[in-house]
Amino acid sequence: MNHPDVREELHRLHLELPRNGLVTWTSGNISARVDGGLLIKPSGVTFEALTPEGMVHTDLDARVLNSDLSPSSDTATHAYIYRELPQVGGIVHTHSPYATAWAATGQDIPCVLTAMADEFGGPVPCGGFALIGGEQIGAEVVRVLRGHRSPAIILQSHGVFTIGRTPAAALKAAVMVEDVARTVALAFQLAAATGTPVLPIAPADIDQLYDRYTNVYGQRPAPATPNAEVRP
Amino acid sequence: MNHPDVREELHRLHLELPRNGLVTWTSGNISARVDGGLLIKPSGVTFEALTPEGMVHTDLDARVLNSDLSPSSDTATHAYIYRELPQVGGIVHTHSPYATAWAATGQDIPCVLTAMADEFGGPVPCGGFALIGGEQIGAEVVRVLRGHRSPAIILQSHGVFTIGRTPAAALKAAVMVEDVARTVALAFQLAAATGTPVLPIAPADIDQLYDRYTNVYGQRPAPATPNAEVRP
Amino acid sequence: MNHPDVREELHRLHLELPRNGLVTWTSGNISARVDGGLLIKPSGVTFEALTPEGMVHTDLDARVLNSDLSPSSDTATHAYIYRELPQVGGIVHTHSPYATAWAATGQDIPCVLTAMADEFGGPVPCGGFALIGGEQIGAEVVRVLRGHRSPAIILQSHGVFTIGRTPAAALKAAVMVEDVARTVALAFQLAAATGTPVLPIAPADIDQLYDRYTNVYGQRPAPATPNAEVRP
Amino acid sequence: MNHPDVREELHRLHLELPRNGLVTWTSGNISARVDGGLLIKPSGVTFEALTPEGMVHTDLDARVLNSDLSPSSDTATHAYIYRELPQVGGIVHTHSPYATAWAATGQDIPCVLTAMADEFGGPVPCGGFALIGGEQIGAEVVRVLRGHRSPAIILQSHGVFTIGRTPAAALKAAVMVEDVARTVALAFQLAAATGTPVLPIAPADIDQLYDRYTNVYGQRPAPATPNAEVRP
């Protein structure tokens, strides 16, 4: 079995998806870049039935290398992102409910929380509609995230993709995007019900919060923001 | 004890109902077709108190065969569906909250998520009002689902029925219908609160997503969609 | 220690309150009628720290009999209900979130689900505002529930009281009232967001559903509805 | 290792944050006053990876005393509050979703539940916008809470701070503020959807509820309200 440590890590991270309420049944997947390819969840397998050995190894054209299982039907998307964004080491895809509700309306999630300024440096962008299976989704993810601070994108009528230097960083972004999607949705519902608007945060304040979080927060001097290195 | 394997499986699947937030207290039930009849949850028993042995065996007229317990009060509905739809091997009934909220408004759940196109091939249809206990509900389920891609129906003012080739497939549909009922409800609330509409998916795109999912997704070449064989 | 079996049961039922999402921190309490008095949760104790021995024994004037702990500050309410409604053997009080949200608007929860017709035989009534500590709340509970099919009442700006022949029956009603409060609230939100009204159930259908559930549902011939014997 | 008992308690209380749904990933923190300083969560560490030993000891100017880990990036806020409010022995900070949604609209959470009158003695106040890292947030917390019954404040576009005589008391306030933020938000959504207003509680009734709860509730004669001693 190749890449045993990455497989163990990928298995462990997949179990965080149901634990954090991001997935239902077999939906959602995480991949890790490995030399010349990627490892990803097999298609249509429940999270309980997943094993480190079952993770499917493909090349960056999404061709399976030595596995009895079929890879996630989103593999072409993951492969496309790894080809185009060399600093990305991990990718997460979910249909987490609040983020997907935003995606169903085709809107960016506006940056109205200091926690969003910290993590995403601004709104979480919404990409256009793209069909599943080919490279359309990957192309849309790359087009939007290449010029963006945010390590997360929501895709119209579909769900969430997040990127990071590592699979763990991409998972953190996937957890946080659902968290802020929920809080901001609740804020807009409350605003509508009470007749009091959701308040904006000034762009200069967003910049200052993002810079502080990227450079000061956490235990390591290295940039803590998953998408830091893929900024143009 | 007859059909020990089916009873074990049915017991295991029933425990997924509370685990996935689909039921409260004793509500909800799953049945499996067995030769000449069905096995189903006993009436008014909590999920913790369920046992494989306690599943009640009835014929397809809902008459109890050899059990001390009374079967679910929905048994006549299950029996009716098995009589009319020979490819159905399993049925799930719940009052899961978001799907039931849609049912209280008498509306189909519109297909505005790619995950809905995948699983249901279009909207989840809402059947009319029918009283519990006799064959009215079964007749309404069969009338609506016989000509439909969806393996799930919501019933006005009542709840959800799902069908599948197996009880596990029907359970998957019950889990997914609540998942999409929630996300689509959140999307409409968000749309109302932000003044931005929920976006439709073009019918041709829905067809393409459904075909791909039915034929490509998962590990087996066989149709993965529970309702595939009951399409007319 | 008197009434060891009732204390064990009461302890076990209290643990169902947090498990079913009905309480936060130390709020909520259950009592059981015992000869000439009642047993109830001690005041301000967390659910984890509860023990069977810690349940406080009082008479029906809420005077403590032989305990080092102070009883729930709602004890006078429980005692009043037991004095006035002799068939009641158990009482539950919670601030469960959706039921309490209805109470904050002072509205009955309308009977728009077949599950509500089953369990409550109509709407869940909302009583008026009453201060905590004395007999005002108990008087309001008795005034409303004495002539009502429902074993549950919500109290304006406050929360839920449910009654039953046993503490377990009252607990079931407390679980079900939150379940229907949530689903009906979601239905009204969805109705407002989609411009499609919540549909009523005809009174004759409510009666038929209630009669069936009370007389046919479950495993025992005895009335399954907790409030059945306290109907006038 | 200094203050082993406080470290154990602080570790135990931190685990209550995810358990009560108040935090996501590494967000949220609790501190305890110790002689001449404070103990607080290290920055950017997950709740699973926390240990009693890992809690960081700082003085009341937020300078680290003898630790390899960096303290929470909110330490300056905690230190400021301890300097200004001598009766405060514990502080909790979260971005719990419903309370933060209120904060995103810049509104106080109105006191429309008897449970709020009990715990908070009135509305939960909302402070103005302040940037993270320096003393702005601490100054805003102190300015608002010094003259207030409430042990909790929400901060515009940000989240929640709660204070108490002990860390456990501050945690209770953090749990309760999210609970009431949720129920009151649900009430306003329901009011908007049904066209029935949320009902106020008369100020005299709020006072009476607060006095009763502060002086009668619970097992000890001492004031049970965390903020009782910091009232002016």
What is the DSSP secondary-structure string of A48-79?
Answer: TT--TTTSEEEETT--B-S-SSPB-TTHHHHH
Select the residue of A98, A106, A192 nearest B186 (Cβ to Cβ).
A98
CATH (domain of D12): 3.40.225.10
Nearest to C146 by CA among C163, C159, C171, C169: C163
User: Which tokens hold the place of C129?
Assistant: 């505002």
User: What confidence score (pLDDT) does residue A232 get?
Assistant: 29
For residue A230 the two structure tokens come to 């893929």
Res. B62: pLDDT tops 80: yes
Whether B66 maps to a domain, the answer reads yes
Q: Which residue in the block uniquely carries the two structure tokens 């739809």?
A: B85
% of chain A residues with pLDDT over 70 = 93
At residue B29 the predicted structure's pLDDT band, cuts being 50, 70 and 90, is very high
State chain D's mean pLDDT as an integer.
92
Joined together, the tokens standing for residue B147 give 């000509």
The predicted pLDDT at position D155 comes to 98
DSSP H or E segment with residue B98: helix B97-104
Look at residue B213 in the predicted model and tell me its pLDDT.
86
Which has the closest alpha carbon to A30: A94, A80, A83? A94
CB contact under 8 A, A188 and B190: yes
Residues 6+ apart with CB under 8 A from A137: A74, A76, A77, A80, A130, A131, A155, A158, A161
Tell me the pLDDT tens digit for each residue of B143-197: 999 989 999 999 999 999 999 999 999 999 999 999 999 999 999 999 999 999 9
pLDDT of residue C133: 72
Domain-located, residue B192:
no
Q: Is the pLDDT of residue A152 over 60?
A: yes
pLDDT of residue D223: 40
Q: Return the pLDDT at D230.
A: 33
- Could B183 and A104 be called an inter-chain contact, meaning their C-beta atoms sit closer than 8 Å? yes
* Percent of the residues in chain A that have a pLDDT greater than 90, as a whole number: 85
Tell me how far CA of residue B138 lies from CA of B55, B78, B81, B133, B142, in angstroms. Answer: 21, 7, 6, 10, 6
Task: Confirm whether C206 is domain-assigned.
Answer: no
What does the block give as tokens for A171? Answer: 């998972």
Which tokens sit at B42?
């006993």
Confidence of residue A142 (pLDDT cuts 50, 70, 90): very high
Q: Give which of C112, C102, C107 is closest to C199, Cα–Cα.
A: C112
What distances in angstroms separate CA C210 from CA B173, C149, D164, one per listed residue? 29, 9, 49
Contact D232, D146 (CB under 8 A): yes
Structure tokens at C120: 């409550």
State chain D's maximal CA–CA distance in angstroms: 59
Chains with at least 3 CB pairs less than 8 angstroms from chain C: B, D
Say if residues D113 and D145 touch (Cβ distance below 8 Å). Answer: no
Q: What are phi and psi of C154, to 5 degrees?
A: -105, 145
Among A17-21, B200-204, C152-156, D63-67, where is mean pLDDT lowest? D63-67
What's the whole-number average pLDDT of chain B?
A: 92
Domain of residue C22 covers 4-112+123-175
Residue B159 β-bridge partners? B155
pLDDT computed for residue D220 by the predictor: 54
Q: What are phi and psi of C87, to 5 degrees?
A: -80, -10
**pTM across the whole model:** 0.94
Within a domain: residue D106? yes
Q: Chain D residues with CB-CB distance to A under 8 A?
A: 24-25, 27, 42-45, 69-70, 73, 95, 97-98, 100-102, 104-107, 129, 131-133, 156-159, 185, 188-189, 191-192
**D132:A114 CB<8 A:** yes
d(CA A134, CA A148): 23
Choose from C179, C186, C206, C219 for mutation: most chain B CBs within 10 A: C186
The CA distance from C17 to the nearest CA of chain D, in Å, is: 14
Whole-number pLDDT of residue D224: 41
- The torsion angle over the Cα atoms of residues B82, B85, B89 and B95, rounded to 10 degrees, is -70
Here the tokens at position B16 are 């997924």
As a whole number of angstroms, the distance between CA B135 and CA B61 comes to 10
Residues of chain D falling short of pLDDT 70: 1, 220-232
Nearest CA in chain C to B196: C193
Instruction: Yes or no: say if B141 and B124 are a contact pair by the CB < 8 Å rule.
Output: no
Q: In sequence order, what are the residues at sequence separation of 6 or more whose Cβ sits closer than 8 angstroms to the Cβ of residue B95?
A: B23, B24, B27, B28, B158, B159, B160, C113, C115, C179, C183
Any domain includes A152: yes
Rounded distance between C-alpha atoms, residue D9 and residue D7, angstroms: 5
Contact between chains at D186 and C97 (C-beta distance less than 8 A):
yes
pLDDT at position B220 is 54
Nearest-CA distance from B165 to chain A in Å?
Answer: 17
The span from the CA of C51 to the CA of C68, in Å, is 13
Looking at residue B218, what is its pLDDT?
73
Structure tokens at A25: 């049944």
B interface test, pick of A17, A19, A23, A25 with most B CB neighbours within 10 Å: A25
Phi, psi for residue B43 in degrees, rounded to 5 = -75, 135
Dihedral (C-alpha) A155, A105, A100, B117: value to the nearest 10 degrees?
A: -80
Q: What pLDDT score was predicted for residue C88?
A: 98
**Amino acid at site D69:** L
- Give A177-200 pLDDT, tens digit per residue: 999 999 999 999 999 999 999 999
Number of Cβ atoms within 10 Å of the Cβ of C142: 22
Q: Is residue C196 part of a domain?
A: no
Interface mutation target, options A68, A93, A132, A137, chain B, most CBs of B under 10 Å: A132
Both structure tokens of C96:
């469960």
The pLDDT-based confidence of B224 (bands split at 50, 70, 90) is: very low
Q: How many H-runs (helices) and E-runs (strands) does chain B carry? A: 7, 7
Using the Cα atoms of residue C17, residue C22, residue C27 and residue C31 in order, give the sign of their dihedral.
negative
Query: From the list B184, B198, B205, which residue is nearest A131 (CB)?
Result: B205
Give the contacts of C172 (CB within 8 A, at least 6 positions apart): B25, C164, C226
**Chains near B, with 3+ CB pairs < 8 A?**
A, C
Question: According to the model, what pLDDT value does residue C213 have?
Answer: 86
Residues of chain C with pLDDT under 70: 1, 217, 220-232
From B8, B28, B6, select the one nearest B177 (Cα to Cα).
B28
- Tell me whether residue B59 is in a domain: yes
Region A23-44 average pLDDT: 95
The number of folded domains in chain B is 1
Q: What is the pLDDT of residue A230?
A: 33
Across the A/D interface, how many CB contacts are shorter than 8 Å?
103
Per DSSP, what are the bridge partners of residue B58?
B38, B64
Check: CB of residue B176 under 8 Å from CB of residue B109.
Answer: no
How far apart (Å, rounded) are the C-alpha atoms in residues D117 and D203? 9
Q: Is the pLDDT of residue B133 over 90?
A: no
Give all strands (DSSP E) within chain D, no chain letters. Answer: 29-34, 37-40, 56-59, 90-94, 126-127, 152-155, 159-164
Rg for chain D (alpha carbons), in Å? Answer: 17
Q: Residue D43 class from Cβ within 10 Å (0-12 exposed, 13-18 middle, 19+ buried)? A: buried
Is the residue at C219 inside a domain?
no
Residue type (1 letter), C112 = V
Interface contacts (A, B; CB < 8 Å): 103
Q: Closest Cα partner for A149 from A109, A184, A122?
A: A122
